[in-house]
Structure 1
Amino acid sequence: MPDTIPADSVGLVSPTTLHIDTPITLECGRSLQSYDLIYESYGELNDDGSNAVLICHAL
């Protein structure tokens, strides 16, 4: 790990895990009784939340 963070960097980012116990039914008909949603956030959310961007990727 570098001693300093470059000025053009988003900074140190670490994943956050949200455990969800609410079942979700998949398109195939099967369901997950619980699952972990892992996400990273960059920067700060503004007061009205209009600067949030959600990017999903294939598993």
Structure 2
Amino acid sequence: MPCWARTRKGTPCRAMSEPGKRRCRFHGGKSTGPRTPEGKARVAEAQRRRWARWRAERGDG
């Protein structure tokens, strides 16, 4: 199955996705996510900031 991510040129990526994934290895198909407690905390904090910004822009804040 093709990756279907967009390249910087704006065209679809033509690489094949990784088995069991939806993206190719270049667009995150090889990513396993954060493994260490520090990495997980960093991602959690980034998500909290992102949703707080979204709520503020939407006016729910």
TM-score bracket for the superposition, by shorter chain length: under 0.3
Larger RCO, structures 1/2 (Cα 8 Å, 6+ apart): 1
The structure whose residues are more often strand, as a share, is: 1
Higher helix fraction (1 or 2): 2
After TM superposition, the score normalised by the length of structure 1 is 0.27
TM-score, L = length of structure 2: 0.27
